[in-house]
Amino acid sequence: MKYLTTIVIFISLALWPLSLLLTNGYRDIPRDFANYFRHSILAPDQEAPLIINTKRSLYPNDFVGRFFNNKATFVWGRFKANFFALTDPNNYFFGFHPREIVRENLNLDKFPFISIIFLLYGLYRLNLLKRGRGLLLLFVVLACLLSLANFDKVDFILYPVLAVFIIHGTRRMRTEKPKLFVAVAIFLVIFSSPQYLRAFVNLHP
Amino acid sequence: MKKFIPLILLLLITALGFIIRFYRLGQAPAGLYLDEAAQGYNAYSILKTGRDEFGKFFPVVFRSFADFKTPIYIYLIVPLIPIFGLTPFTVRLPSFIFSVLTLPLVYFLIRRLLNRAKIATPLALLTVLLLAISPWHTLFARADFEANIALFFLLLAIYVFYSALKRPSLLILSAFFFVVAFSAYHAERIIVPLILLLLFIRHYRTLLATHQRPFLLAGLILGFLLSLPTLFVMATPGWAARATTLNIFASNPSGYLAWYHGPASTLVNASWYLWVKEFFALYFSYLSPRNLFFLGDSNPRTAYPDLAPFFTWQFPLYLFGLYRLVKDTSLRELRFLILALLLISPLPAAMTRDPFSTIRALPLVIPLTLIITLGLIRSYQSLKPAGQRTLIRIGFVGVIIYSLFNLGSSAFVLNEYFNAKNWDYGWRQVVEVLNRLDPKLPLVVDSASGEIYSEILFFSRFSPLQYQEKNFEVPLDEYYQNLQRNPIKTIGNITVRGIAWKPDLAKEQYLVGDHLAISVEQIENNHLTLIKEINYPDGTPAFRIVKTNPNPTSE
């Protein structure tokens, strides 16, 4: 059981670093960090005033038009786009599928999709994780900070927090629901084999 | 007096939901989508002749564009036409009515499931309030969507089912409502059997008790008999063709690497892996905050601009509500129902290719709204000082008012401007112009942009009998099987088909088409006379009506 747990944890956690390694994405992380705020949500957009003004002109009352369509709502919209992407389970387990981010993102599969069961179980038993709530808060704070600019690859910073939740979920399930754990582990091994292979071949069309 | 307060509040909230859904019903969304037009005209045809547009006597499902539309909605429109006429308002009225009726139904369902629990009344009232102002539920209430009717009957069937646990005779009525839901919309054909199965597993002891058995048997027999027509249609090639085009298992799964033929191709392109992953990716997308609180539906007809199915402020409440739902066993039967609906509702949608289809997953709006309300109540209860609670109450009223304005801004201002094209805006205006043209000249309406003949039939209120006589698609005994289409439709002096420029320019007639079919250059080069240009609300051209000049005088 102990070896199986180790295998499960390894399979669950190795995909994201491996994908970054294979795409050479890791090389961009220091550079992206240095230029992080250049791609900020506050960066000027030539089309933004046009869109805002068009929308404003549709309202019978200018105050209402300005209230719902202004620079702040535009920036808030960009922040939300990033924040909800970073809190989307499909981001981490399905490479944003079925709603990939075009051009600005590698849309990597970060964890094998079966591992979502361990993450959910880990969150379900969060009260048994030492400093679990603190880690959750840390995740939210980091996600908020990452949402201030283009987050692709830089979001690897969230990896340790998510990894702790997955490890916790794996261990708790092994202790509390051993039969379920074995079943999920078998599915993980079966379904992650093609997923790992694809990490290698996907890059060479 | 005190016990009437919740009912008075329910009445007020329902009135709010009524106003939001009724304001400019039939006018906003501007235009009438071709499916709406087809359903309206088929109802009109049934009213006038007892047959649909193809001459089929009271069909079990409507062939329409060979997409086999569910029948309940169309038959609900029929009695409304003599009262309100054949208008967009009439076509959208059933959806509106059942959407408003869903509000008190949800209240009574929650009350029934929670019995006398302390949380019952606030949870029920707040859920109804959030549902009343829900962008997701409101959008489907304001246009012709069968899914809305199916949702109402699904909830009604569940409500009557729970009532039947104490009054067994109601099982027969419950079975009837389940069949109505089953027949009303495609997604319910998966949801209803699964819900029934879960309800049976949970309550089999009560259902199989001696005094219940006769009613259970009667309900099963009635349900089976009433489902027969729908089951029969589900076995036809027409139905199979529709199911095949939509479902994710029909062709190469998403992610299939066609270029890869390496040694591991069996594993890399393993369809079992790709299909399972695709299904779960789609399934989780229906629970993903990104889709629920930010992106919304990718189809512009089933989403309001700049507004997701739920408001952003509801996001933390959703997460907290989910957590409390899993942990909180005091909700008992309601917890079971929320979880059942939450897990089952995305299933039909997750089997189809669209990334996040709010129409196919409409029943999901109920458990999600309940979860958000649960999060709201539990977080409110966790506040101890009275001052904090007062502040939260004031803040909540402010947030509700803001949400109402936000909904109004998106549904009545932005949607009209940005989405008019997606709602087939302009056909009413086109038909108004066509009615004023010389009736002796033939008229060709370009059909390149879809099944627009339904729009002309609808807005011209063309005689169904004449239309049935002049148009043949398939023999009536092959109505449900034969998928062959007739691309040319004749509506009086109007022919709906693709424009064939050379022969069509050779005779004097009117041509109608969108801005691509009849461009400004074509008008100039072919010496056409522009009769009328109809524009979308954003000023871009929607349709052009021109007259040919076979022998133009040289200048």
Q: For testing the chain A interface, which of B284, B297, B320 should be mutated: the one with the most A CBs within 10 Å?
A: B284
Query: Which residues are registered as beta bridge partners of B541?
Result: B535
pLDDT number for residue B296: 96
Q: Is A90 left (phi over 0), alpha (psi -120 to 50) or beta?
A: alpha
Instruction: List Cα–Cα distances, B432 to B50, B232, B456, in angstroms.
Output: 28, 41, 10
The shortest C-alpha distance from B99 to chain A (Å) reads: 27
Tokens of B51: 């047959």
Per-residue pLDDT tens over the stretch A52-80: 999 999 999 899 999 999 999 999 999 99
Stated length of chain A: 205
Q: Check residue B116 and give its pLDDT.
A: 75
Looking at residue B555, what is its pLDDT?
45
Evaluate whether B261 touches A201 at the Cβ level (below 8 Å). no
Write out chain B residues lying below 8 Å of A80, CB-based: 293-294, 312
> What is the CA angle A83-A89-A90, rounded to 5?
100
Q: Environment class of residue B471 by beta-carbon count within 10 Å: exposed (0-12), middle (13-18) or buried (19+)? A: middle
Measure the N-to-C terminal CA separation of chain B; round to a whole number of Å: 86
Task: Collect all residues from A whose CB is shorter than 8 A from any CB in B.
Answer: 55, 58-59, 64, 68, 77, 80-81, 84-85, 87-91, 93-94, 97-99, 113, 116, 124, 191, 193-195, 197-198, 201-202, 205
| Mutate: best of A90, A93, A126, partner B, most B CBs <10 A | A90
Residues whose CB is less than 8 angstroms from the CB of residue B372 and which lie 6 or more positions away in sequence, other chains included: B130, B310, B314, B317, B318, B321
Q: Chain A residues with CB inside 8 Å of B288's CB? A: 88-90
- The span from the first CA to the last CA of chain A, in angstroms, equals 40
Give the pLDDT of residue B96.
98
Q: How is residue B535 annotated by DSSP?
A: E
Is the Cβ pair A197, B280 closer than 8 Å?
no
Residue A18 exposure: Cα atoms within 13 Å on the Cβ side? 19
User: Could you tell me the CA-to-CA distances from B395 to A76, A92, B312, B380, B386 in Å, in that order?
Assistant: 20, 34, 15, 12, 14
Taking an 8 Å cut-off on Cβ atoms, the answer to whether B294 and A59 are in contact is no
Q: Do A99 and B326 touch (CB under 8 A)?
A: no
- Single-letter amino acid code for the residue at A10: F
The alpha carbon of residue B362 is apart from the nearest alpha carbon of chain A, in Å, by 19
Residues of chain A with Cβ-Cβ distance to B298 below 8 Å are 99
CB atoms within 10 A of CB B238: 20
pLDDT, tens digit (0-9, with 9 covering 90-100), for A141-152: 999 999 999 888
Query: Which chain B residues are within 8 Å of A94, Cβ to Cβ?
Result: 277, 280-281, 284
Structure tokens at B520: 């400004």
- At B537-546, the pLDDT tens digits run 999 999 999 9
What residue type is B244 in one-letter code?
T
What pLDDT is recorded for position A204?
A: 54
Question: A199 vs chain B: nearest CA distance in angstroms?
Answer: 10
- On whether ipTM exceeds 0.90, the answer is yes
Q: Indicate yes or no: CB of B290 within 8 angstroms of CB of A116.
A: no
Query: Is the per-residue pLDDT at A205 higher than 60?
Result: no
Distance (Å) of CA B304 to CA B22, B93, B340, B358: 17, 20, 28, 12
Give per-10-residue mean pLDDT for chain B (555 aa). 88 98 96 97 98 96 91 97 98 98 98 88 97 98 96 98 96 97 94 97 94 94 92 80 79 85 89 94 96 96 96 97 91 94 96 92 98 96 83 94 96 96 96 95 91 96 97 93 92 95 94 94 94 96 95 59
| Nearest of B222, B220, B142, B234 to residue B188 by alpha carbon | B234
Structure tokens at A15: 């995909």
Q: Closest Cα partner for A106 from A189, A16, A187? A: A16
Residue B328 phi, psi (nearest 5):
-85, 105
Cβ separation of B405 and A64 shorter than 8 Å?
yes
Q: Are B184 and B153 in contact (CB under 8 A)?
A: yes
**Inter-chain residue contact A194 with B270, CB threshold 8 Å:** yes
* Record: contact A98-B289, CB cut-off 8 A: no
How close A97 gets to chain B, by Cα (Å)?
Answer: 6
List the structure tokens of B442: 């033939």
Average pLDDT, chain A: 92
Tell me the backbone φ, ψ of residue A96, rounded to 5 degrees: 70, 0
In whole angstroms, give the CA distance from residue A41 to residue A147. Answer: 8
Question: Which of A55, A88, A94 lies closest to B414 in CB terms?
Answer: A55
- If you count residue pairs, one on A and one on B, with CB atoms under 8 Å apart, how many are there? 93
Give the per-residue pLDDT at B205.
Answer: 95
The neighbour count for residue A67, using CB atoms within 10 Å, is: 16
Cβ contact, residue pair A193, B267, below 8 Å: yes
Q: Amino acid identity of B491? A: I
The pairing of strands B529-535 and B494-497 is unpaired
Q: Do A38 and A31 contact (CB within 8 A), yes or no?
A: no
Q: Are strands B510-514 and B529-535 parallel, antiparallel or unpaired?
A: unpaired
Q: Given this model, what pLDDT does residue B251 score?
A: 78
